Amino acid sequence: MTDSGSFSQFGICDGARAGRPWHAEARLAFQRTTSLHKIERAAGALLGMEADAAKAVYFVLSGWLASSKSLRNGQRQIVDIQLPGEFIDTRLSDMQASATQIETLTPVTLAVVPRGNWMRLLQEYPEILARHERDVAAVLSRMSERMLRLGKSSAQARIAYTLIELGLRSSAFGPGESQEFHIPMTQQSLGDFTGLSSVHVCRTLGQLERMGVVSTNGHMDILIHDIEQLAAIAEIDVALLRGELNSAA
Amino acid sequence: MTDSGSFSQFGICDGARAGRPWHAEARLAFQRTTSLHKIERAAGALLGMEADAAKAVYFVLSGWLASSKSLRNGQRQIVDIQLPGEFIDTRLSDMQASATQIETLTPVTLAVVPRGNWMRLLQEYPEILARHERDVAAVLSRMSERMLRLGKSSAQARIAYTLIELGLRSSAFGPGESQEFHIPMTQQSLGDFTGLSSVHVCRTLGQLERMGVVSTNGHMDILIHDIEQLAAIAEIDVALLRGELNSAA
DNA sequence: CGCGCGGTTGATTTAGATCAAGGACGGTGG
DNA sequence: CCACCGTCCTTGATCTAAATCAACCGCGCG
Segment A5-33, tens digit of pLDDT: 345 455 444 444 444 566 666 666 666 65
Segment B40-50, tens digit of pLDDT: 999 988 886 55
Going by C-alpha positions, the residue among A55, A65, A68, A105 that lies closest to residue A85 is: A65
Q: How many CA atoms lie within 13 A of B24 on its CB side?
A: 7
From B70, B92, B141, residue closest to A137, measured CB to CB: B92
From B8, B89, B194, residue closest to A137, measured CB to CB: B89
Handedness of CA A145, A146, A147, A153 (dihedral sign): positive
**Chain B stretch 21-80, residues whose beta carbon is closer than 8 A to a beta carbon of chain A:** 67, 69-72, 75-77, 79-80
DSSP, residue by residue, B132-189: HHHHHHHHHHHHHHHHHHHHH--HHHHHHHHHHHHHHHTT---SSS-EEEE----HHH
Mean residue pLDDT across chain B: 81
For chain A, which domains are there? 8-143 (2.60.120.10), 153-248 (2.60.120.10)
From A89, A98, A152, residue closest to B75, measured CB to CB: A152
B59 burial via Cβ count (<10 Å: 0-12, 13-18, 19+):
buried
Give the Cα separation of B194 and B221 in Å (integer).
Answer: 18
Q: Does residue A207 have a pLDDT over 50? A: yes
Q: Any residues with CB less than 8 A from the CB of A79 and at least 6 apart, and which?
A: A67, A68, A69, A100, A143, B144, B147, B148
Q: Nearest nucleotide (C1') to the CA of residue B198?
A: C7
Q: Which of residues 141-160 of B touch strand D (CB under 7 A)?
A: 154-156
Q: Look at residue A168 in the predicted model and tell me its pLDDT.
A: 87
Segment B79-107, tens digit of pLDDT: 999 999 999 988 776 667 788 899 999 99
Q: Does residue B114 have a pLDDT over 70? A: yes
Residue B123's pLDDT band (boundaries 50, 70, 90)? Answer: confident
Mutate to test the interface with A, among B101, B140, B148 (most CBs of A within 10 A): B148
R_g of chain B computed on alpha carbons: 18
Residue A53, min C-alpha distance to chain B (Å) = 17
